[in-house]
A and B are shown apart, each in its own frame.
Chain A
Amino acid sequence: MSGLGQALQPVLAMREELAGILGLSLLVSGVAVVVAMLLGVPAGIYLGLRRFPGRQLLVTLVNTGMGLPPVVVGLVVFLLLARAGPFGALELLYTPWAMIVAQVIIATPLVVGITLAAVQGLDPRVHLQIRSLGASGPQHYWKIVREARLSLVAALAAGFGSIISEVGAVMMVGGNIRGQTRVMTTAIVLETRQGNFALAVALGVLLLVLAALFNWLFTWVQQRSKA
């Protein structure tokens, strides 16, 4: 017991800083996944319902984007936001905003892809049925959201899961600055490098618990909306 107590000593000593890291992780990934849903769900529905020139190319891009290496996203966002880059004047690099931008880019294709698959998975006659009962364009889209909501929760879970546990992009564009842009994953990397294994493991466990908690929440919402 005393061994465990000793191991937890540095964790407890850092609990205020840890709370800050946890809070920032949730804030950055939470805002990013909300933005990704706001962008991705309408885009996924549009791609699923409409046929237009260039659609196939967009679908291919989305599918590629679903497997985008976070570190490459980090690099691109870094170059865009760097002082000499096109958006350098905004001075967003090494701020939580840069991290949100990178995470939105990672999560959005996942949300679009899962939404697209959900819309395409609906019986095509459902669309005719909705319209034949007198739905306007927006009413039709809203009904699709409602009918595909189980998949949308899955899109939310996949999007959030992909960014809360991501390290490459936030490290590059956030810089892992203590008290400013340090999140769970970058803190784990840092503590491991510095040989603070107990702290790194504690952070790792915390991240796992967090992921499990959110997955449980998403599953609960999904089951509830299915009933």
Chain B
Amino acid sequence: MSLLSLTDVTVRAEGRTLLDLPRLEVHEGEILVVLGPTGAGKSTLLRIAGLLQRPAHGHLAWRDEPVPWPTPLALRRRMAMVFQAPLLFSGTVLDNVAYGLRLRGERGSALRDRVDAALAQFHIAHLAGQRASTLSGGEAQRTALARAVVLEPELLLLDEPLASLDAPIRERLRDELRQAIRGRGMSCVYVTHELPEAFTLADRIAVLSGGRLLQVGKPEEVFYAPNQRAVAEFLRAGNLLPAEVVSAAGGLATVRIAGRILTAASALVAGRRALACIHPEEVQVALAPGSAGEWLGATVVAVTDRGPTLRVDLDCGFPLRALVTRRAARELALRPGLRVAVTLAPASVHLILEDGAPNMAR
């Protein structure tokens, strides 16, 4: 069921379209991650979803009931928002976390119990009496998250809440945040430009760019089956190669890429021009072809050390990038000039239609 829906929402400023959304729904109980580059309109979308900004056009509905303007306080109180900066108020950590509950008239031991639970959840119980102005970045953001989560909003809106934190703290807090959201059964819209964050948290991902919604779907769907070049590029899909569908039957398409033939799992029909999207980690590199499936002969052009994995640039008649583990690279003795056999499963070759309209955003 749709908790919040935005229909035909547009926002313009100084002649520029900041947001143009035909339709976006937040489902009950889901974490919807809005992913996109800086300036994509993510924060604007979040302010509108949080009823903090009225869109120039379009309408919102809460559980299929139209949202009136000015928005009723009772409705706004079903949501809470956390920004990238903690934006803590003066006073102690406890004062901050209790703020929203006090606004709602909560007092005494009921208030204290709820605040204590939230403090404990974000591991800041020992900081309760400390001045908010003396906290470290991580502690401040934990306080900001506790201040919103303690309200048990039906919809939690998070605007890159972990973006300004160091990597180890960010990862820990990301897991804690997921537990807090899931544990309390809240719905959540989470804005970020970080892929790992999106994939760790999302039930669905909405890719936003230039104020337009490019694709909405489950993480693996968006990642492995981007519906257009912009999505594939933003998700760093790796290999994007111009391809032509030679023949198609039974959900499999035979495509030609720079004169070489590959099979892709696709419903596109013969004659269409497409973009083949191949994730580097899906490219299997071996010294000799395996017994099953198609293979391509290739020459190693370059090997780049990336820590846990190595990036291998190959020449198959077209440039192809692969990611291999350190162990595989050692066993294969990968080095420039080495001849190798490349295997690609049809499911790992995704075709994006390039002629005509892009695949519809779902």
In the complex, A151→B14 CA distance in Å? 34
Residues of A within 8 A of B99 (CB): 133
In the complex, A143→B131 CA distance in Å? 17
Residues of A within 8 A of B100 (CB): 133-134
B76-84, B301-309, B354-362 - the one binding chain A: B76-84
Q: Nearest-CB distance from B121 to chain A (Å)?
A: 17
Instruction: Count residues on chain A whose CB falls below 8 Å from chain B CBs.
Output: 17
B147 engages A128 (CB within 8 Å): no
A129-B90 CB under 8 A given contacts A134-B104, A139-B103: no
Tell me which residues from 105 to 156 in chain A have a Cβ below 8 Å from any Cβ of chain B. Answer: 123, 125-126, 128-129, 131-136, 139, 143, 146-147, 149
A132-B85 CB under 8 A given contacts A139-B103, A146-B90, A147-B90: no
**B161 CB within 8 Å of chain A:** no
Residues of A within 8 A of B90 (CB): 146-147, 149
A128 engages B81 (CB within 8 Å): yes
- Our pick among B52, B80, B89, B151 for the contact of A143 (Cβ within 8 Å) is B89
Residues of B within 8 A of A132 (CB): 50, 52, 76, 79-81, 157
Between A and B, 24 residue pairs with Cβ closer than 8 Å are A123-B87, A125-B83, A125-B85, A128-B47, A128-B50, A128-B52, A128-B83, A129-B81, A131-B52, A132-B50, A132-B76, A132-B80, A132-B157, A133-B80, A133-B148, A133-B151, A134-B80, A134-B100, A135-B103, A136-B73, A136-B103, A143-B89, A146-B89, A146-B90
Instruction: Count residues on chain B whose CB falls below 8 Å from chain A CBs.
Output: 23
Tell me which residues from 103 to 148 in chain B have a Cβ below 8 Å from any Cβ of chain A. Answer: 103-104, 131, 147-148
* Interchain pairs with CB closer than 8 A, number: 50
In the complex, A142→B85 CA distance in Å? 22
> Which B residue sits closest to A142, measured CB to CB?
B103
Residue interface bits A168-195, CB-to-B below 8 A is 1, else 0:
0000000000000000000000000000
B87 engages A134 (CB within 8 Å): no
> Which A residue sits closest to B74, measured CB to CB?
A134
- Our pick among A125, A128, A133 for the contact of B103 (Cβ within 8 Å) is A133
Tell me which residues from 51 to 81 in chain B have a Cβ below 8 Å from any Cβ of chain A. Answer: 52, 73, 76-77, 79-81
A134 engages B81 (CB within 8 Å): no
Residues of A within 8 A of B148 (CB): 133
In the complex, A210→B227 CA distance in Å? 75
Residues of A within 8 A of B85 (CB): 123, 125
A134-B103 CB under 8 A given contacts A123-B87, A129-B81, A129-B83: yes
Among A126, A133, A143, the most chain B Cβ lie within 10 Å of the Cβ of A133
Tell me which residues from 11 to 68 in chain A have a Cβ below 8 Å from any Cβ of chain B. Answer: none
In the complex, A131→B147 CA distance in Å? 13
Residues of A within 8 A of B151 (CB): 133-134
> Which A residue sits closest to B87, measured CB to CB?
A129
> Which A residue sits closest to B70, measured CB to CB?
A137
Q: Nearest-CB distance from B321 to chain A (Å)?
A: 40
B76 engages A126 (CB within 8 Å): no
Q: Nearest-CB distance from A2 to chain B (Å)?
A: 55
